[in-house]
Amino acid sequence: MKKSLIYILSIIFFIVLCSQVKAEVAGNCANCHTMHNSQDGLDMATYGGTSGENPCLTRGDCIGCHAYDISGTVNVVDIGGSLVPQVWHSAATDPAINLAAGNFKYIATAADDDTGHSVADVDEEGNASMFPPPGDQHTTGITATNFTCAGKYGCHGDRSVSGGIESIKGAHHTNDNTIDGNSVGTSYRFLKGVLGLENPDTAWRNVDETDHNEYKGATSPGTSSLTSPVNGTMSGFCAECHGYYHGSGTDETGGTGSPWIRHPTDFSLPSSGEYTNYTTYSIVAPVARVTLPETPSGVVTPTGATDDIVMCLSCHGAHATNFYKLMRWEYDSTSLETALEGCNVCHTSKN
Amino acid sequence: MNNMKTIFLCLVFLMFLVGGVADAGTYLNSAHGTQNDAITGVKRLSAYTDGHCAHCHEQHASIGGDEPSPDLPAGPDDYLLFSDNHTSQTVNLCFDCHRAVGGYQGGIVNRSYSYRAGGWTGDTLDDILEAFGPPTSTSSHRLDDISTFINGKWGHTANSNPCTACHNPHAAQGDPANLPNSAKTTSTTRGWPVTLPSKHGSLVATDILWGDGSGEKMSYYSSYYQAPYRSGSNSAYEPDGSTTTTDGTNLTDYVTFCLDCHGLALTSTTLGRSTKIIDWDASGDYHGKKDGGGGKEDPYAATRNYVLACTDCHEPHGSPNYRYLIRKEVNGGTTNFSGDTRAAWDSLCDRCHTSKLTSYCTGADSNTLCSVCHNHGSNF
């Protein structure tokens, strides 16, 4: 009897342990934190070439850890067993090896400013002409100099909290087996309030039609607030800063159907005409889902229903891409066929 | 054996060649989409290659935070277009580029049917805006009437651009490509500019354009089609100046095309009444399949039941002539259809009927308008 109890408790402990390992950041505390920013007389908070103490005793700021080695060629850095996805790296085989959101290296030089979100942490020369954010419905106050990764003037973390690290405090240690959007840690990619399925096969990347993230969508856009994405959708999140490109007011998308006056998002592909040919998930022009699948799906059913939702990320990368206007394909190519590559995924008769 | 190898290699080469052409889709083969790199497609913005969607459609009505020109009136427009889709007879998105002067593409010349098919190069009308509006054109398809008619038909709505009743902007081709300021010739590759109105929106390959299939020619509609002469010639024929092809195998079946709408009584604000229902069948008009016993003047001199195409007498867009979109050039000569007078009608009808069929037309009633007896639907 006692042996049986021990056996059962062991199984339960194993399951709980496994789930925690999967959900939270792994590795020794010292991989990410330093108590005194000093060891043997040397600074410890130096990740990514940063220096000085950071909130939460971290050894780097957002870029310090997630752009750990911008000249490196890996998209995920292993720091003592802690796997850190790299938003800025120099892998030679890009863009295939980039994370799903892209690679900030494309905006690190002046010539490439229009290919990504110009966060001040990366965009070394600034790009004031793109601020405030286009379609800034909610008056974000974001400028070329305060635009950052997380917090009030960023995307990740709690956007009602000032300070990048402060806004994301604790999220890396949250059990996120269930993405419910109720906290930063349980939101998709720490985008507070956003739902989604983080790719369980090849973490942080979209690889092919069955190996990719799944994004939350809705069948009508609604209106987001400054800090809360309507319907928990990815597009709703973009609308916190670019609201006029997403809502349903007459000054926004102009309603809920054709004729649209701006390209619709959070809207189901029509069940007729050229759209019916989009049946296999495309990582060039991906769709979102009203109901997130338990595993990434390669199927799209353009029935005007739930698994075929047009979203901002259908066309754009989130961080930066090597294409004009953060597009997922070479939209400004001198080859018309190449320029329309992504358009033709949905607009299948316009090839 | 070497010959066999040569033939085999040629076949392989041909297969790849044809395969390559087939790869280009409907849009890439259209005039707006560069007609498979043969011409300059739509080109409004410098940031994008010609033929790009963004020249007509602004995804967010914003590039770099600002609305690209034109931005008056400010704000996004229906169908993501860069300007208002359709407002009036002279204000229409298509005219923003299809005008010889002041367009967003530096001026686009599009000649009349009389010029292009009829070879009447004396025509000064040189763009679509002119064709639809006064003072150049006094008779044209009324765009507002078309909007009213197509609303609710064939997938159109009240927001549809009336030009799309006849043209699919994502498929229409130059005819021929890259020669909008010239008469058509047999030495160039023809294109197909129209879509059968009732097939609007169909994705069936054979429905997308009208005229490109062998069953979509005047020769298919009737074996009695005879192409009219070109301007000033008695040896070259419409629509491409051929001296040998006269049976309509080189002409779109514009009868079937036009009757999609004109087979019905249509509201005409210009005429203040409904249009006549056109019946081109054997029980209808003599200019159609009804046997009138043959023609009189060349090239209609033989005793046979000639069947005309609508474009033999009418401009598709508009005409400087008084009414009914009557062409300024018909069957080799010019017309002066300047009003409802006998002389004006004669200038048209004489192009094929110089010796009148009955004494009634030339006797005491010689001032009677031809149209009093001879009109669409009169069966006379």
The secondary structure of B192-207, three-state, reads CCECCHHHCCCCCHHH
- Counted domains in chain B: 1
Mutate which of B21, B23, B26, B27 to test chain A, going by most A C-beta atoms within 10 A?
Answer: B27
B203–A273 C-beta distance less than 8 A = yes
Q: Which of B47, B80, B170 sits opposite A262 (nearest CB)?
A: B80
A260, A333, A349 ranked by CB distance to B26: nearest: A349
pLDDT in tens, chain A (351 residues): 455 555 554 444 334 333 433 447 888 999 999 999 999 889 999 998 888 889 999 999 999 999 999 999 899 999 999 999 999 999 876 667 899 999 999 988 666 678 899 999 887 666 777 889 988 989 999 999 999 999 999 999 999 999 999 999 999 999 999 999 999 999 999 999 999 999 999 999 999 999 999 999 999 988 999 999 999 999 999 999 999 887 666 555 556 788 988 899 999 999 999 999 999 999 999 999 999 999 999 999 998 778 999 999 999 999 999 899 999 999 999 999 999 999 999 999 999
Interchain proximity A340–B27, CB inside 8 Å: yes
Q: Which domain holds residue B367?
A: 145-380
Asked, for residue B127, whether it belongs to a domain, the answer is no
CA–CA–CA angle B111, B112, B118 (5° rounding): 110
Nearest CA in chain B to A264: B59
Structure token pair of residue B69: 């020109």
Residue B242 lies in a domain: yes
Residue B113 located in a structural domain: no
Chain B residue with the nearest C-alpha to that of A129: B64
Contact at CB, B34 and A135, closer than 8 angstroms = no
Comparing C-alpha atoms, which of A219, A218, A248 is closest to residue A232? A218
Asked if the Cβ–Cβ distance from A261 to B76 is below 8 Å, we say yes
Q: Is there a contact between B157 and A258 if contact means CB atoms under 8 Å apart? A: yes
pTM: 0.89
Count of CB pairs separated by less than 8 Å, A with B: 90
A172 CA to centre of own chain: 15
Query: What is the token pair recorded at B335?
Result: 């017309």
Spatial contact of A234 and A194, defined as CB atoms under 8 Å apart: yes
Q: With contacts defined as CB-CB under 8 Å, which chain B residues touch A302?
A: none
| Residue B365 pLDDT | 77
Ramachandran area for residue B208 (φ above 0: left; ψ -120 to 50: alpha; else beta): alpha
Hey, is A338 helix, strand or coil?
helix
**B355 found inside a domain:** yes
Radius of gyration of chain A (CA): 21
Q: Tell me the residues of B at the A interface, defined by beta carbons under 8 Å apart.
A: 24-28, 33-34, 37, 41, 47-54, 59-65, 75-80, 85, 157, 159, 170, 201, 203
Residue B109 belongs to a domain? no
Residues 6+ apart with CB under 8 A from B67: B58, B61, B74, B75, B76
B91 located within any domain: no
Tokens of A297: 């799906």
Residue B116 domain flag: no
B296 lies in some domain: yes
Is A260 in contact with B80 (Cβ distance < 8 A)?
A: yes
The interface predicted TM-score of the complex, written ipTM, equals 0.88
Question: Which chain A residues contact residue B62 at CB under 8 A?
Answer: 134-135, 245
Taking the C-alpha atoms of residue A168 and residue A161, their distance in angstroms, rounded to an integer, is: 9
Give pLDDT, residue B75.
82
The reported pLDDT for the residue numbered A110 is 63
- Summarised one tens digit per residue, pLDDT across range B99-112 is 999 999 999 999 99
pLDDT tens for the 380 residues of chain B, in order = 455 555 544 444 443 333 333 346 899 999 999 998 888 999 999 999 999 999 999 998 887 778 888 887 788 899 999 999 999 999 999 999 999 999 999 999 999 999 999 999 999 999 999 999 988 899 999 999 999 999 999 999 999 999 999 999 999 999 988 888 999 999 888 899 999 999 998 999 999 999 999 999 999 999 999 999 999 999 999 999 999 999 999 999 999 999 999 999 999 999 999 999 999 999 999 999 998 876 678 999 878 889 999 999 999 999 999 999 999 999 999 999 999 999 999 999 989 987 765 666 777 778 889 898 889 988 76
Beta bridge partners of A267: A310
Q: How far apart are CA A247 and CA A93, in angstroms?
A: 38
Distance from CA of A8 to the nearest CA of B (A): 58
